[in-house]
Amino acid sequence: MRITWYGHAAFLIETEGLRIILDPYRSPDSGGYLPIDEPADYVIVSHENDRYHSHLGQITPPFQVIRALELPPEGADIGPIRVQAVHVFENDQRLPEDEVTIIHFHAEGLHVAFLGDLGHALTEDELAPLRGAEVVLAAAGGPPTIDFPEIPPLLDAIGPKLVFPMHYLTPKINLRIQPVERFLEALPADPVVRTGTASYVITPASLPARRTIVVLDHSR
């Protein structure tokens, strides 16, 4: 499995012969990230926010769209992969208009969880489907997504081996969020790998023995 960070919350997951894009932003309206002008087999959006999370107009067609807010409880199959969603909220007030999702799936012997715009601690029912996910893509910029004191207990409960920060301040985003260093300060005991690249290849055999944070460069 190869994970590539485009920027903000947008990733390309290459697995099981598929190209899956998560949460594409709209360029240049989201800031300075360049357009995601690449092909995909599937585009999965965690919630509807055309500027930052669900813009389809710059991806090279044809592709199929999975809107996680519309998935049935059992999820949906894309090729050999079943994609499922946990319904959560962008803040701890849990207002209906702030509903978002966590997207998760199994592929190549790995359980991957994309936390999206999660903005609160999880209940046991929300957490249960995510426990044991080896790979977590986590918002790292603080409010309006999950605040820094809530991040360590959340990751401890899920139990990943690899954590990929996203959704944090860079010179190319126009949101008032914090830089990735603030996220790293909240997890001082975790080793940090700065790849110097936008992509990272994972196999079950390559997982580290202890939880490790992988900081990717944005490709756009």
Instruction: List, for residues 58-89, the tens digit of each pLDDT value.
Output: 999 999 999 999 999 999 999 999 999 999 99
Residue 7's pLDDT is 98
Which long-range contacts link 62-66 to residues 24+ away (Cβ below 8 Å)? 63/21, 63/39, 66/42
pLDDT in tens, 196-210: 999 999 999 999 999
Spatial strand order in the sheet of 99-107: 76-78, 81-89, 99-107, 110-114, 135-139, 162-166, 212-215, 192-194
Tell whether the model's pLDDT for residue 21 goes beyond 90: yes
CA atoms of 24 and 39, how far apart (whole Å): 12
178 within 8 A of 142, measured Cβ to Cβ:
yes
Which H or E run includes 22? strand 18-22
Report residue 28's pLDDT band, with 50, 70 and 90 as the boundaries: very high
Name the pTM for this structure.
0.96
pLDDT in tens, 101-121: 999 999 999 999 999 999 999
Lowest mean pLDDT among 60-64, 89-93, 165-169: 89-93
Residue 115's pLDDT is 98
Mean pLDDT (the chain, rounded): 97
Torsion angle defined by CA atoms of residues 174, 180, 186 and 191, in that order, rounded to the nearest 10 degrees: 160
Where do the domains of the chain lie, and which CATH numbers do they carry?
2-215 (3.60.15.10)
The total of other beta-carbon atoms located within 10 Å of residue 17's CB is 8
Residue 95's pLDDT is 87
Residue 143's pLDDT is 95
